[in-house]
Chain A
Amino acid sequence: MTAVVSAPGAPARPTVIDRIGAAHIPLAAVLLLYPAFASDFFLTQIGGYSLIFGMIGLSLMVLAGYGGMVSLAQITVAGIAGYAVAILGLNNSGVHGFGWPWWIVVPFAVLLAATASALIGWIAVRTEGIYTIMITLAIATAAFYFAQQNYTIFNGFPGFNGLRAPEFWGVNWRDPVPFYYLCLGCAALAYAAVLYCSRSTFGLTLQAIRDNPRRMRAIGYHVTAHKVFAWFLAGLIAGLAGVLLIWFNGRVSPGTINVAAAINVLVIAVIGGLKHPVGPFLGAVVVVLMQTFAIDIVGAERFNTLIGLVFLAIVFVSPDGLLGLWSRLKPHLAQQPLRSGP
């Protein structure tokens, strides 16, 4: 994923493949062909679920990796979109369920989530480092308890059930294969947007602000506005993932947005690595596989211990997560042919 650098004196225009990044083509092929050899369970419960949590992790990666702001409220933003779909669309709980069509509800929910994210960001950007984490954790916790205790809007502890993905173009989008492609499409869109954004003027400015806010302010940039806009963009991604998440679960309740879920998103981003947008998706695959199958490996009593140990091992070996692991191994692998030559 290195940026294309042209040799001086040879101003060749980058080809289409260079622009996309050569490694993306086989990756896309594998992801597109995945339904051909995966069971329904692996398609939705592992594939779809990883893509959804990868997107929520991606929204955190945007803030933490490019903006230097670690947020624990990303699951809250996703939850806001989820609750909006449950309340404005149709549900089985007999509370609200205004029955708006999906093509109004979904954009509305995503925009609402992004606006909420910008508001959270507006509060959080006044702080730095650990205080940002604390303030977003406080917001996530408050949102969880509010959703759990408020019955007039959020229907309290049970939340809303019977939420269905829409059916259009003759396809039920919650069937395993369509749902996988829906998640893949949304994730690819978010991924490409983040890649594009990171190289845009805004993205570069944001990274400069991360590295030295005081100097950027002196040059004349509006630091707060840039940060808040980053929160808005991250909110768009998290909101979209939130809509997919509640279609995936078929329900939304305070348990969807509790503190454990908030920490889960942070774990996904840290395990995967914050240096590149592909990191959170890698992290999500590892975390989802571990959380699904650890109970088969060590039994019901200690499976959370195993999950914790694996995460600890990854972070211990490589503080930059799985991405960092690769960048450490790469030089060694490259030298291998030289060493083993005749």
Chain B
Amino acid sequence: MKLHRRSLLALALATGLTAPSLALAQDDTIKIGLLATFEGPFTVLGEDGERGAMTAVEELGGTAGGKKIEIVKGSSDASPDSAVRAARKLVEQDGVKVLVGPLSGDEGIAVKDYAKTQPGVTFLNGASAAQDTTFRDPAENFFRFGTDGAQWMAGLGTYAFNDKGYKTVAVVAEDYSFPYTQVFGFMAEFCKAGGKVPSKSWVPIGNKDYSSVIAALPDDVDAIYVALGGADAVNFLTQYQQSGGSAPLVGGSITVDQTVLTSQGKTREVLIGTPAAGPTADTNDAPAWLAFTEAYKKQPNAFPSPSLFAHAYYINMKAAILGLNEVNGDVSDGGAKLREALAKLSFDTPTGKVSLDKNRNAIADIYLTEVVEGPDGNLLNKLIKVVPQVNQTLGIEEAEFKALGAVSRDNPSCE
């Protein structure tokens, strides 16, 4: 038992001694926590989020309010539990007063709940895009300068119904809060225009075999709305194509991004002409976007074009630094002044002006796109049109929007 006693004593002493010293921050630096998925199925997305955040830090000279920025990273595996644990460590052990993150939908809701117990810390969302992170039961100290998954769908439902002429659409989406929010955003417009959604299939993240899903799809639909990400999208599209499916597709924001478009095989033919919408577009030729792309490409291992995760982390990190600049890096009052500054903050991003509503959720431009074959044979999301300044209630009166109910598997419905 001697070792146990001694080692525990040593451990206890070491932890007791090191704990206060670790928590001490120097006066001329300011710590910003960066929480993203550096492990698990969304690692690639989390790493791109980090590139976006670091682009913002470097663009603003690595200082905030005259103090040097020190980034402290926390890692989650896309599960809400791990996100909260990482956030706790950053806040309670490393002593960050400003935290940017997390990345995934349900993580955002969990961190928002945690934010309520830490009123002295200012939280800015990463790329998490569930609606109820800010819309229902929001936290006073949680800000989202990126938009949510329903906002990302702005314009798509109307475009699919009016311009593409799809009257009935079946939905295939992953089974968690972010795709619920995307489907909600799409159906809000599509059903209002007169469209019908006779069937919705919810599949677990990481599903490999879609044969039962494909078999259950109704034959008489005009198109299929697909809100799947990364490998899930590739697996579904390949199997759908192999099983002889030929219905045109409508894409969610992360369904037809570069990770899917660059995959090899016959999915290309299925994908060309697929309309989608999101906070970014590959062929955006606005000078601000091109400048952002150039700055982003200086990051190690960057993609040819920043993903929407890099974009969202960039905007939130930039907002955090701009807010800190306004209060000269002073968060000694528990961040009250910083939060006041953030609530009023409005700035020009690579994708247009962004400002906050009263729930501290962004109002920003959304891009309607369509997959085309580029000049060198690569598939690209061609910009169709910009939907300006979309708010969280999608232009609907707030009371009326709230009456639509919380997003879920069954809501909304228009069979």
Q: Could you list which residues of chain A lie within 8 angstroms of chain B, going by C-beta atoms?
A: 1, 21-24, 26-27, 30-31, 34, 37-42, 45-46, 92, 145, 148-149, 151, 156-159, 161-162, 249-251, 253-256, 258, 260, 278, 282, 285, 292, 295, 299-301, 303-304, 325-326, 329-330
Q: CB < 8 Å: which of A92, A156, A250, A292 contacts B175? A: A156
Q: B residues engaging A (CB < 8 A)? A: 1-5, 7-9, 11-13, 15-16, 19-20, 23, 36, 38-39, 47, 50, 73-75, 77, 79-82, 84-85, 88-89, 92-93, 106, 109-110, 113-114, 175-177, 204-205, 409
Q: How far is the CB of B85 from chain A (nearest CB, A)?
A: 7
Q: A interface, by DSSP: helix, strand, loop or mixed?
A: helix
Known A-B contacts A38-B12, A256-B81; A23 and B1 likewise in contact (beta carbons under 8 Å): yes
Residues in B whose Cβ lies below 8 Å from that of A26: 5, 9
A41, B38: Cα distance in complex, Å: 22
Given A41-B92, A251-B110, answer yes or no on A158-B176 (Cβ-Cβ < 8 Å). Answer: yes
Are A145's CB and B204's CB within 8 A? Answer: yes
Residue of A with least CB distance to B92: A41
- Asked if B175 and A157 sit within 8 Å, CB to CB, the answer is yes
Which residues of chain B are within 8 angstroms of A148 by Cβ–Cβ distance?
175, 204
Report whether B8 and A27 are in contact in the complex, using a CB–CB cutoff of 8 Å: yes
Q: Is the CB of A326 within 8 A of B88?
A: no
The answer to whether A255 and B109 touch across the interface, beta carbons within 8 angstroms, is no
- Take A149-B204, A329-B3 as given contacts and tell me if A260 and B77 are in contact as well, using a CB distance cutoff of 8 Å: yes
Beta-carbon contact of B175 and A161 below 8 Å: no
* CB-contact partner of A255 in B11, B36, B79, B113, under 8 A: B79
> What are some 14 contacts across the A-B interface (CB < 8 A)?
A27-B1, A27-B4, A27-B5, A30-B12, A39-B23, A39-B92, A39-B93, A151-B409, A157-B176, A157-B177, A158-B109, A161-B113, A253-B80, A285-B8
Contact B88 A45 (CB under 8 A): yes
Residue of A nearest to B72 (CB): A296
Complex Cα distance A285/B7, Å?
Answer: 11
Question: Known: A41-B88, A250-B113. Is A30-B1 also a contact (CB below 8 A)?
Answer: no
| Pairwise interchain contact B4-A37, C-beta atoms closer than 8 A | no
B5 to A42, Cβ gap below 8 A?
no
- Among candidates A42, A151, A299, residue contacting B19 with C-beta atoms closer than 8 Å: A42
In the bound complex, residues from chain A placing their C-beta under 8 Å from that of B38 are 295, 300-301, 303
**A253-B113 in contact given A27-B8, A282-B4, A300-B50 (Cβ < 8 Å):** no
Chain B residues, CB < 8 A from A45: 85, 88-89, 92-93
A299 neighbours in B (Cβ, 8 Å): 73
Taking CB atoms, residues of chain B closer than 8 Å to A282 are 4, 7
Q: Is A42 a contact partner of B1 (Cβ separation < 8 A)?
A: no
Q: Which residue of A lies closest to B205 (CB)?
A: A157
